[in-house]
Chain A
């Protein structure tokens, strides 16, 4: 009986898609080919003989040959075959890994292969455990016993059915020949280890939380989804696009520019902290160093955004702007960023103070933007929202990017810092020194402390650079003159 509700079912019922199963099955079928597959031998178990047993070494050699991979990759692939349940180990059956030695494995019967469509059901698991219990009491492992007790409680209403099925299967099993019975038991055991793994076993069927969408169901697209798609396609067709040669050229240029700054491609100076256990690289590149490193200064020249994101670079740029008496552009940009990314409740107060400081006619730090943008912005400020300053901010940013930034790079401020910048010599530690470094790792300063310091600095800077309010000074002089008179 299903209880139907008016609201859509938002439960997560579907297992994630297992896209690799088709390819895996094809490979496993090939492996079992009597002529070109993996070589099988017979294993003697007391008096019974188990056919079609394969050794780990042979499997890995076959995989390496077939897929043209080095042995390590083949080993990883072999482990995956075991963890999905296509091959199971005969000894040490709880560890689902492939070993590159003489340990023995067998192919799992296709009946027990993993599938996308059917989940290994709890009822089947209960039947399996009950069957093992019937055969011999006390043979269940602790984790299996825990599962059994749990299922006994939850499936109690079906327990008669489960016990009946278990007894039937047990009787049917007794009628099989001994080698077949041993093989079937091993297969069944392997199947349940993969689908109900014990605690320290890594099984690939353990695939994470269920999804909302069912990968087995056909996708049904409703009419409103089609309408949305059509609106999207129309808009996408009309969008301006760039030729591949141009945009790919830009990607390549980016890589070439940053090549020497990538620690995976070029060595860090003085050394990569993770490799030598010394954090000199980080201390030299901290937020408020007096003298930055050469690499850092070089990076500032790559683009205005690089310069501004590195706060030390931004400080240097501010020094330059102060000399040029054009600090209001950057101050406006910073204020607009704070408005955009700040809390929703502070938007109106921030907008007001920005208007008074930068945009009002006769404002102390009036920014020079074109009439149209100014008009749009001022109108938007009547009902301020988060993105009200976008147009003005972009205009100011473009101005800085196309003009001020290049003047900065040619200025004595920049050239001076380039000359002064540090070029640390690469570290050359002996093994004993590396050992020592590992013992004396520097804990560094906690980001919370640094953040508090930053906030204090900001408050100080704001107080120091507050523009002199001419009107207040004038009125003070007036009042004083009046008092004298």
Chain B
């Protein structure tokens, strides 16, 4: 596993300033060193040395980039469809709308499932956040926020709280839920994260105590919920970061983010280091999602393609595209086994792709405006799609 190689050296005294803490493994003049993130920043901002100009740096960057592509190419000994030749084809799927959740007064921007597999939280443009029991269509809790464009929402792993990212407030807050339907939850709202631009995505880690947020200011950050303290920040994107996802694997120390700079980056949560970057898309990346085993991830972009990246081989392995699909994909999610990739598009439809054979298996119609988010339930029994037509649909 990739994380193993970072294990021993990632903590200890920084080679430059001596302070103990999580370290980034970098190379200076081909020598490996371990610097803390502050020293790395200082090094990056150091004034131009003798003989260094913007042009020489750019040329060095290009040569290194070519070398990286070469290294990646060396291990490219087989394509996905060759490996998948012997696998049987997915049979015809009959996926229908089983529930339509009506209640929002404006575009539904985000949703997330609860670990109990039936509850979900959704947020919309009119500032309303609703916690539903998807199975009985019961609205359990509702919160009215003063701001519009609540672009991100997440359910806590315990099921006792939700996190909301304000699009105009630039904050991410956590609201504890209650069994009392009529309680005014807005008063219990606790601000946790503060960014300098809109919060585009937020998620809890394995517990209720930490949240990871991504923002339009180009950074991601890890926060401690109880104190509101910034635990780690992640810099490297050169434009708005639109989405992030935590690794589901046993090492669980990494996450992937995708942004308007057409790049998707994999980060180490402990040191803040950017471990891997992929620059294959031709337009903004709207959503990134890990494969269930954590060894790969998929990204959805405005260039109407979804791509699958293999983390251990460090390259893109599949492009899910069709000539007849020209509108951007806004959201993706994998089914439980990872065989199916559900992608929601701006042309109001959801395409179901066969991950291994790289073909489209099915299209789901039903929404009347663009799909903002698709999310498979924790036990894989259903898919929920949130759309700008003010509704959510549950498919099974």
Residues of A within 8 A of B (CB): 10, 12, 16-20, 23-24, 67-69, 72-73, 76-77, 79-80, 202, 204, 206, 209, 211-213, 215, 219, 221, 223-252, 254-259, 261-265, 268, 272-275, 279, 281-282, 285, 303-305, 337-338, 341-345, 376, 380, 383, 385-388, 390-391, 394, 397, 441-444, 446-451
Contacts and interface: CB of A to CB of B under 8 A. Distances in A.
Interface in B295-321: 295-296, 302-304, 310-315, 317
- Among A223, A248, A272, A443: residue with most chain B CB under 10 A: A248
Interface residues of B, number: 148
B182 interface: no
Contacts of B84: 252
Contact of A230 (B61, B90, B261): B61
Given A79-B348, A240-B5, A448-B159, A274 B98 contact: yes
A67 B197 contact: no
Given A76-B349, A212-B239, A213-B240, A262 B302 contact: no
A391 B7 contact: yes
Nearest to B138: A443
13 contacts: A67-B324, A80-B346, A211-B240, A223-B54, A231-B43, A244-B75, A251-B338, A252-B87, A343-B224, A344-B226, A390-B7, A391-B7, A447-B158
Given A231-B40, A282-B379, 8 more contacts: A223-B57, A240-B2, A244-B76, A252-B84, A254-B291, A265-B340, A303-B250, A341-B205
Contacts of A345: 226-227
Given A10-B196, A245-B77, A258-B336, A273 B310 contact: no
Contacts of A383: 20
Interface in B70-89: 71-72, 75-80, 83-84, 87
Contacts of B179: 446, 448-449
Contact of A263 (B78, B338, B381): B381
Interface in B339-355: 339-340, 346-349, 355
B200 to A, nearest CB: 9
B226 A234 contact: no
B348 A274 contact: no
Interface of B: 2, 4-5, 7-8, 10-11, 20-22, 25-27, 30, 32, 40, 43-46, 48, 52, 54, 57-58, 60-61, 64-65, 67-68, 71-72, 75-80, 83-84, 87, 90-91, 93, 95, 98-99, 114-119, 133, 135-136, 138, 140, 149, 151, 158-160, 167, 177-179, 196-198, 205-207, 209-210, 216-218, 224-227, 229, 231, 236, 238-240, 249-251, 260-261, 270, 273-277, 282-284, 291-293, 295-296, 302-304, 310-315, 317, 323-324, 326-328, 335-340, 346-349, 355-356, 363, 365, 368-370, 379-382, 388-389, 394, 396
A248 B283 contact: no
Interface SS, A side: helix
B297 to A, nearest CB: 11
A227 B291 contact: no
Contact of B369 (A73, A202, A225, A244): A202
B337 A247 contact: no
